[in-house]
Structure 1
């Protein structure tokens, strides 16, 4: 088994996390505001009836109230619940008071669990990531949680990653289980990628 991509990912991941950790609160806040505006401008959000997302923590790019940004009349927002095996269960977001502290510094919805397959009903999925390359391949934190979630999506689901400027790279190391996303948002731009429906 070729361990080179996994080793390259570890090195790149460490570098990107160090850069994020060094960012000041003003840059984080400005990025969060710009990304909220970019999300609201997506035509895919306007058309979505079910959106799956996450709650940004620490230096993750995105507004702290990401679920509120995505919510709208007649639109359901699903948020992840991390399971013991690092897979993701899902629960409906019902407002800021529905979030509770969880392990690893996460905040999760307190409502009934809908099962890992619930993400398959989402029209739009906002995924965390550390970098995305020109092919739309995303690199996450290494637990594989979102690779599994992306594998459960319907073919037409629109997937988007929120990033800081500088996290759109020419190439990220890839492994067979990695799944491309359809778009990446940074404070400066929205980039769309051609994605093969069969992938």
Structure 2
């Protein structure tokens, strides 16, 4: 699951340029390299105490060249966690449903958007994420202050704003490739820092 681009370009030019470079670097990864990175990323993420101690984890299903999350989702489920996965709404907001395993995922086409894998169980409502102990966020980069660069569609900006309004403070963790931890990403007033990043080579806290 990614932030879904809206087709507009209301972002600072430096954000757009950085997104293009990072997406291009992802596309050239071989399937073998992506699979190896997914396994290592799962092990790194599972080493985080915030995930080990969580009862409910809001996560996402990776698509395309994103750092793979399928192995991590199954490991969280096997560890007895309640795992919530997003359902994309027409306005780019996110609803949530429980992950029940790979058989409970279905390809879902959204008009004008990429094909996603979404859970087939009952929708729990957009506010379900406020009950999560940890939220795993997609992204393209994070800097050494903990500022995250997303895809630009705003889906996860809405999630973070909803958590703030509810007074919820789950651990926010971004899943990335190693080289996507950068010195600095362009920042806007609505951007929220995260607590940690997990990459195939380990974790970094902010």
- Taking structure 2 as the reference length, the TM-score comes to 0.87
Query: How far apart, in 1, do the equivalents of 2:59 and 2:195 lie?
Result: 15
- Structure 1 75/7 Cα, relative in aligned 2: closer, same or farther at 3 Å? same
What residue in structure 2 maps to residue 134 of structure 1? 144
> Equivalent of 2:115, from 105, 109, 112?
105
- Determine helix, strand or coil for the equivalent of 1:146: helix
> Equivalent of 2:184, from 171, 174, 193?
171
Query: How far apart, in 2, do the equivalents of 1:48 and 1:118 lie?
Result: 15
What residue in structure 1 maps to residue 5 of structure 2? none
- Taking structure 1 as the reference length, the TM-score comes to 0.90
Alignment size in residue pairs = 191
Q: Which runs of 4+ in 1 moved over 3 A?
A: none
User: 5+ residue gaps in structure 2?
Assistant: 1-8
- Determine helix, strand or coil for the equivalent of 1:135: coil
What do you get for the CA RMSD once the two structures are aligned? 1.6
1:5/1:174 contact within 8 Å kept: no
1:6 equivalent to 2:19? Answer no
Query: How far apart, in 1, do the equivalents of 2:106 and 2:89 lie?
Result: 15
What residue in structure 2 maps to residue 81 of structure 1? 87
- Per-residue CA deviations over 1:103-150 (Å, capped at 9, x if unaligned) read 212100011111111100000111110000111111111001011112
- State the Cα distance separating 1:69 from its structure 2 match: 2.1
What residue in structure 1 maps to residue 75 of structure 2? 69
- Structure 1 121/4 Cα, relative in aligned 2: closer, same or farther at 3 Å? closer
Query: How far apart, in 2, do the equivalents of 1:86 and 1:179 lie?
Result: 18
1:33 equivalent to 2:39? Answer yes
1:22 equivalent to 2:28? Answer yes
What residue in structure 2 maps to residue 44 of structure 1? 50
Query: How far apart, in 2, do the equivalents of 1:159 and 1:145 lie?
Result: 15
Query: How far apart, in 2, do the equivalents of 1:145 and 1:66 lie?
Result: 22
Q: Which moved more, 1:65-74 or 1:179-188?
A: 65-74
